[in-house]
């Protein structure tokens, strides 16, 4: 067997994640059509329970449309903290089997189990065991796909969703892809799928008829990826998430700023972004750093470290503003402001669970 077909990759994805967590924690919601998201006319559905999906309710649908499709739909407010907690829990299960775990979002990850820690030779059995453990330890169901590369594992995890799994062995891969609808190809977005459908490309086998040159002419670099995946080729490695060292944001202004009030306003916007990112990544930082770039490109940074860590957004803003004040005169004009949070609290220092490094 060619080496690229010898890897064992599992893709695990939780079923109706946010909605299932809400049904788990609120038993009165079980078996009912629920949507996680705002009920207002401007609201959007983040997740729909499988009961709600029967009515056509979907993620990213406006709440207004969702209510029309399912008048009995129950809206529930999201609780990111809780989803992050479960995300950390499933991740620690994954890590028992392999260090090669690459989270794609809070509820899914790729695992390379070619050399699994417990020495189990069968990726299928590992996937089964992991799904079982997730259920026992969280009370939630997950689906899985097993194959020799990321693309196939990812697509496979959708085949028997919810609460199911599917294995694509090397000898079955080409058949599987040939019969796969283009809209189900991971990495082919809605627009591209439509474009392909319009020229009569509806299944993997149709995509294979287009040569590489034509595909790259039509879709640029992505064309190469399409050319490969419809042949079952995807050599991307599972990249274990590295711990992120800092979270930051900055803004370069269209005009240099001189006034403290204007700078303060901009700083608040940047601080809001940084705090949201840190919050979503589940990190707790000790150090805040403010970066200034003057109109003449001279750059200054000022930092402050707080023990045990910066615990609220208000504190973060107060400290950022203090740093700005300490810099003083802005006669030269400021062209860029930036803020970063770093020096994260580590696991052994308590508090924080597994560090999540994924953007949501």
**Residues catalogued as catalytic:** 108
Give the one residue of 102, 108, 112, 234 binding Ca ion; rule: CB under 5 A.
108
Verify binding: residue 341, ligand DCP, rule CB under 6 A.
no
CB of 164 to ligand DCP, least distance (A): 11
Give the one residue of 9, 12, 35, 46 binding ligand DCP; rule: CB under 6 A.
46
Beta carbon nearer to ligand DCP, 48 or 257: 48
- Report how far residue 345's alpha carbon sits from residue 308's, in angstroms, rounded to the nearest whole number: 8
Verify binding: residue 59, ligand DCP, rule CB under 6 A.
yes
Q: How many CB atoms lie within 10 A of CB 115?
A: 11
Terminal alpha carbon distance of the chain:
38
- Report how far residue 182's alpha carbon sits from residue 175's, in angstroms, rounded to the nearest whole number: 14
Longest dimension (CA), the chain: 70
60 binds, among Ca ion, ligand DCP, none (CB under 5 to 8 A by kind): ligand DCP
User: Looking at residue 107, what DSSP letter applies?
Assistant: T
C-alpha distance from residue 86 to each of 113, 301, 352 (Å):
22, 37, 13
Site string (151-190) toward ligand DCP, x via CB under 6 A: ----------xx----------------------------
C-alpha distance from residue 214 to each of 209, 224, 233 (Å):
10, 10, 18
Minimal CB distance to Ca ion: which residue? 108
Measured in degrees and rounded to the nearest 5, phi and psi for residue 20 equal: -65, -35
Verify binding: residue 102, ligand DCP, rule CB under 6 A.
no
Verify binding: residue 51, ligand DCP, rule CB under 6 A.
no
Piece of the chain touching ligand DCP by CB under 6 A; list 15-23, 125-133, 203-211, 234-242: 15-23
Q: Which residues bind Ca ion (CB under 5 A)?
A: 13-14, 17, 107-108
């Amino acid at each position: 067997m060619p080496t690229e077909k010898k890897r064992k990759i599992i893709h695990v994805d939780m079923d109706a994640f946010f909605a299932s967590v809400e049904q788990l924690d609120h038993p009165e919601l079980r078996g009912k059509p629920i949507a996680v998201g705002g009920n207002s006319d401007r609201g959007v559905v983040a997740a729909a329970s499988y009961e709600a999906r029967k009515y056509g309710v979907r993620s990213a649908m406006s709440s207004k449309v969702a209510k029309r499709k399912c008048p009995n739909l129950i809206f529930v407010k999201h609780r990111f903290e809780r989803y992050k907690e479960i995300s950390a829990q499933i991740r620690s299960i994954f890590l028992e089997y392999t260090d090669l775990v690459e989270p794609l979002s809070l509820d899914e990850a790729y695992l390379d189990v070619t050399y699994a820690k417990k020495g189990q030779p069968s990726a299928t059995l590992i996937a089964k065991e992991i799904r079982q453990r997730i259920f026992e330890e969280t009370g939630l169901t997950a689906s899985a796909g097993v194959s020799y590369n990321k693309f196939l594992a990812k697509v496979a995890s959708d085949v028997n969703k919810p609460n199911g799994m599917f294995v694509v062995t090397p000898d079955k891969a080409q058949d599987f892809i040939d019969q796969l609808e283009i809209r189900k190809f991971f990495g082919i977005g809605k627009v591209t799928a439509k474009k392909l459908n319009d020229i009569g490309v509806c299944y993997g086998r149709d995509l294979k008829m287009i040569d590489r040159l034509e595909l790259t002419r039509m879709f640029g670099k992505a064309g190469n990826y399409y050319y490969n995946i419809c042949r079952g080729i995807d050599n991307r490695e599972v990249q274990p998430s590295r711990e992120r060292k800092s979270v930051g944001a900055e803004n370069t202004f269209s005009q240099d700023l001189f006034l403290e009030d204007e700078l303060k306003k901009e700083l608040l916007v940047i601080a809001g972004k940084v705090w949201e990112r840190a919050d979503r990544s589940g990190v707790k930082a000790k150090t805040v750093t403010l970066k200034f770039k003057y109109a003449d490109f001279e750059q200054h940074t000022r930092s402050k470290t707080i023990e045990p860590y910066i615990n609220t957004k208000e504190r973060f803003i107060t400290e950022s503003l203090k740093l700005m004040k300490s810099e003083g005169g802005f006669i030269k004009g400021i062209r860029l402001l930036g803020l970063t949070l770093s020096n994260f609290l580590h696991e052994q220092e308590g508090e924080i669970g597994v560090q999540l490094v994924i953007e949501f």
